[in-house]
Structure formats: C-alpha cells, structure tokens
Chains A and B, each alone.
Chain A
Amino acid sequence: MPHDHDHDHAHGDDHHHGSELSPIALRVKALESLLVEKGYVEPEALDTLIETYETKIGPRNGARVVAKAWSDPKYKAWLLDDATAAIASLGYTGRQGEHMVTVENTPETHNLVVCTLCSCYPWSVLGLPPVWYKAPPYRSRAVIDPRGVLTEFGLMLPDDTAISVWDSTAEIRYLVLPMRPQGTEGWSEEKLSQLVTRDSMIGTGIALAPGALL
C-alpha cells in the first residue's frame, strides 16, 4: 500500500480531521496486531471467544448443574465428589482446565466464594464475574467480615449458621450448591433452574423462593 502523506496534520491545531482512538484502545490494537503478526493468536479465534463469553456461557449453565443436583441424588453425589467431571458431563468444560470443587450449603453451613488475589471464577458454569466480585471491597472484606458482606447483599443468615469462605485460585474454582427451596417438590429440572441465581452459586445469595417465578 503506497504511503499517503499525512496532510491532515498540517494545521497544527487541536482540530483533527481524522479519527482518534483512546490511549487504551491504541494499546490493545498494538498488542493484538503484534500477536497476530507473530502468529501467537488468530483474529477469528479471538472473535469466537468473545462471542462465546458474551452469549453462550453464563450463569444459566451453573443453574442447570444445580437443578440437576437437586433432582438427581446420584448426580449430586458425583458433583460433590468430582465436580470437574460431573460438570463436564453436561458439556461445560473450562478452557483453562481448572479444577472445580462444589461446596454444599446446609442449614448448618453457608458457603461464600471469593478470589482475594484477583478474580479467579468458575467461568465455565457462571460466565464472567460481576463487577463487584472483581472490586477491592468484596475481595478484602469477604474473608474478614463475611456476615457483614452478606448483610449488604440483603442476606441475613441465622446466627447459628456458620459461614465458610472459599478463596479461589488459578487452579481451583468453587461452585456453591445452594439449598433447594421448600415447596418445589415435583418440579422439573428446567423449572428448578429458574430459581438458581448467579449470586446463589457464589454464596452472596440463596436460591429464589418458588413464588418469585409467578
């Protein structure tokens, strides 16, 4: 391509006739174009990845896992014993090959998941983490004052319910198995899955009550 001399810059004032990319967009474009040229990434693969994370992977995957565990005792036992395999059996596999662990909520123990280091999160079942999960207040306070954090999420647990906090790492990601709400006997997995919120699988919430679907 012949070089077109930049006559657009002849005026020397603030008015640009051309386009302008933000400094951060320039950094991303620079990085990406170099990685593509050197053969480390393919543009099509990047687009596919983005589309997958924007549209196909999300907390609905995790909700189906939970609903199946509520409906099928054998699946639940498998999920608690080998979460990586039980989750993969439904077609949800982590690109990172991370090890999944399921922690079960009971009347005695409530589980809460955090990543104090950065934002490790069970992507394959929950998609990408919400903004608050990545923010310093949650990351620092979930460990020090889990009950206080839960109160801010509107979740008041009985005083005699213990709270276990699980700190995710690059190797181990946790999925909370919330308690099945009362009054859902005989519900299909599909209907049950609608009660399973993202927050209930992080532990900052519990599953919705059946009335929430009306």
Chain B
Amino acid sequence: MSPPDDPVFNEPWEAQAFAMAVSLEAKGLFTWTEWAEALGREIKAQGERSYYECWLAALERLVEEKRLMSAAERLTRINEWDRAAKATPHGQPIELDRS
C-alpha cells in the first residue's frame, strides 16, 4: 500500500484561507488565471514565508484589487479581532463585539 499522504492542512487557518479562495473563484469574483498570477507573484517573492502564507497574501491583495474590501477595512478588522481575542477568557469562543 502507498504510504499515508502529508496532512492536507497543517493548521486550521490554512484550510480557511484555501477555502476562501476556492469559494470566491467558484462565485466568479476572480478567475483561476488571475488567482494563479496573484499566487505566483507572492511565491516569487516568497522569502521565509510558508506556502499558505503566500496564499493568504495573494488573497488579501486580490480582494483589494477586485474591490471586495479596502485595505483600511481589513486592517481595522484585524485589530478588532485582536482586541476581541485578548478580552476572551481561555476556552470560550472568540466573538467580535460589534457595536
């Protein structure tokens, strides 16, 4: 029998990032050619980053280019999640406090 394959995703965020790109393409918000170019650009400048870090960076850039969201919106939201996480006791689900 063949040996077991590598795990498909090493961490949950990799799976989420993967699924977002596949889902957006399936909805026609970008094409695979555009995706391959965006990912190819990041991989070319890969440096120390892992494959899925490049994947995420490509996705962040493409959603901005396609005007699905602005960079400012995204950065604000990152801070909101950071604050929410730090205010949530261990073991409880982290939820955004949307006021």
Contacts and interface: CB of A to CB of B under 8 A. Distances in A.
A35 B20 contact: yes
A181 interface: no
Contact of A4 (B1, B81, B87): B87
Contacts of B53: 24
A212 B88 CA distance: 53
Interface in B59-99: 59-60, 63, 68-69, 73-75, 77-78, 80-83, 85-90, 92, 94-99
Interface in A12-29: 16-22, 24-29
A170 B16 contact: no
Interface in B1-57: 1-2, 5-6, 8-9, 12-13, 15-20, 22-27, 29, 31-33, 35-37, 39-40, 43, 46, 51, 53, 56
Given A19-B90, A119-B39, A28 B56 contact: yes
Interface in A183-203: 194, 197-198
Size range of the chain B interface in the assembly: 35 or more
B90 A30 contact: no
B56 A49 contact: no
B89 to A, nearest CB: 6
Nearest to B80: A30
A8 B94 CA distance: 15
Interface residues of A, number: 61
B2 A95 contact: no
A113 B5 CA distance: 18
A148 interface: no
B94 A19 contact: yes
A46 B86 contact: no
B15 A50 contact: yes
Given A6-B86, A119-B43, A128-B8, 9 more contacts: A21-B82, A25-B12, A46-B23, A54-B9, A118-B40, A119-B39, A169-B33, A170-B33, A198-B2
Interface of B: 1-2, 5-6, 8-9, 12-13, 15-20, 22-27, 29, 31-33, 35-37, 39-40, 43, 46, 51, 53, 56, 59-60, 63, 68-69, 73-75, 77-78, 80-83, 85-90, 92, 94-99
